[in-house]
Structure 1
């Protein structure tokens, strides 16, 4: 049996510039971090030649082509594992909440499958293979940031070049900075689950008319990287989150709505300094920067379920092999 653990991520700035429709015009950039919420993939040899796949539903099929789960089917075919296996997935957080869960699933499954056939892949290779599955093979209208964040872990600046290549620059945060981030960053679940595909597809279609906004968001990634590297974690972080969220909302309909705007405004009035909806928008988790003294008031104001999380250093890894 093999078990992989792959982290979810939170993206601070630059989200949307990792879409091909944008980065092929120049380059895109994102600053994001892995968090201590993960998806676990198990794979085990089955007694017979059938495939059993268990996620939110369970499939038992005679051949890989009969699977309904498109990502699992593509990963199995890519690795040549087409019969006689049982695969399960267990996640700390539900899908469709803006934490990159689909790509974490893809990276974690590929890591497990390649380990199963005796091949070891680097983080860069896992991320590139996951992009090939989701974007090239399955034609999902998504970007590349989630796959790389899940594979590498830690806090990073990712640059998405016009030729499709991706460069990673690790942001070296001190233990003091990490403790400050863990204390001051809050995350609340809006209660809205959604598929990012529709929003991202519309965003890609609107890219040409929104280049000035996307350029601003891309440049924010470089600014935040410099601040974190030179000054550390401070109030400028909150300002950048807020400014980026205001810009992102104007890209296309569906990224925000009246309910989300009201919750965010309530958080600001209660003492939060800045924040954003994570992922493509439309629901999922609200990330806030807030001094500890004001956090009780913010919790009371938003009235939503809070997710306790921490910055995580490790990317996708095999945690059990027997």
Structure 2
């Protein structure tokens, strides 16, 4: 059986999902493919990564296979799972902020559910993948990535209220523009980065304010905070507001407004949440000077990719950017032409 799960791009709502905020992602037409069949042990083969991993115990291996092993651990709490061979292939760049790990987790859980007739819903699969990432892999992420990879619908964004874990489909109306992704060539590794530290800083801010969650915080509460805690909370509050404004702009067909919110989000992620880097800032500033409607860093930060809202002629502008960027920095950048996609699905028996 072969299953594929898409990567995702978050239009806006960055670093809000683990703070009970609003996010507005959509799935993209770049995928992680997982083929499964019965075996005499657990075998994990990747056409993109080394090494091949074989084991008869679902314990940590400190390899890429831990994303799959984490899923198997959680499903096996409730269901009996026999030995399985996994063959993984992907055209989704790892470390580019496009949720390759969530795609692998969700594809694995969906494949196992189908292989063993477990009848798990896609929402249940998303929550299993969320637990695996947090409890087994150790990245304290929110639910956005797993929800988007599992539940998305083509030609729609997914508006998720991560506080109550509800979601709605929002039509992607951005004519005459479209979305592009620039991969900066700088790979990040969330579990070994500042990502978990940002989450801890937000949790500390909640304790200082004596609030149970970010929904209880108002802009007036910023007066009670100082330093990094004030900056982190201010970003989350303003970013939540930008998500709602972006949804209104989508519904009204006001694409240029969406671009403005992208630039505002990047400024906040750079100055308040401090998860950008020199190379990404250079890309965004270059695009702004070229009068591109919108751009911002996406993903966990400290590298990864830039989401761009632009017209059909953007590849020509990117060619100029590529020359300047690669002269200035020791990285190769690439342009991904993306369209929206459905969430996880079976693509072969």
**TM-score for the superposition, normalised by structure 2:** 0.80
SS at match of 2:171: coil
Asked whether 1:319 is paired with 2:347, we answer yes
Cα distance, 1:67 vs structure 2: 4.3
2:175–2:253 contact (8 Å) kept in structure 1: no
Counterpart pick for 1:186 among 169, 177, 180: 180
Cα distance, 1:298 vs structure 2: 3.9
Q: Separation in 2 of the partners of 1:188 and 1:263?
A: 9
Cα distance, 1:83 vs structure 2: 4.7
Counterpart pick for 2:288 among 268, 271, 275: 268
Cα distance, 1:39 vs structure 2: 0.7
Q: Separation in 1 of the partners of 2:127 and 2:334?
A: 35
2:41–2:54 contact (8 Å) kept in structure 1: yes
Asked whether 1:158 is paired with 2:178, we answer no
Q: Separation in 2 of the partners of 1:137 and 1:84?
A: 19
Q: Separation in 2 of the partners of 1:190 and 1:234?
A: 25
Q: Separation in 2 of the partners of 1:273 and 1:178?
A: 11
2:174–2:250 contact (8 Å) kept in structure 1: no
SS at match of 1:64: coil
1:6–1:151 contact (8 Å) kept in structure 2: yes
Q: Which runs of 5+ in 2 are unaligned?
A: 206-228, 324-332
Say which is worse superposed, 54-63 or 211-220, in terms of deviation.
54-63
Give the equivalent residue in structure 2 for 1:307.
336
CA separation of 1:3/1:179 partners in 2, compared to 1, >3 Å: closer, same or farther?
A: farther
Give the equivalent residue in structure 1 for 2:86.
87
Root mean square deviation, CA, Å: 2.0
Cα distance, 1:71 vs structure 2: 2.1
Cα distance, 1:179 vs structure 2: 6.3
2:182–2:335 contact (8 Å) kept in structure 1: yes
Q: Separation in 1 of the partners of 2:138 and 2:176?
A: 39
Residues 64-213 of structure 1 aligned to structure 2 (within 5 Å): 64-65=58-59, 67-68=61-62, 69-80=65-76, 83-154=82-153, 155-161=157-163, 165-173=164-172, 177=173, 180-181=176-177, 184-197=178-191, 198-207=193-202, 208=205, 209=229, 210-213=232-235
Asked whether 1:44 is paired with 2:66, we answer no
Q: Separation in 1 of the partners of 2:160 and 2:143?
A: 9
Residues 271-310 of structure 1 aligned to structure 2 (within 5 Å): 271-293=291-313, 295-303=315-323, 304-310=333-339
Give the paired residue count. 301
Q: Which runs of 5+ in 1 are unaligned?
A: none
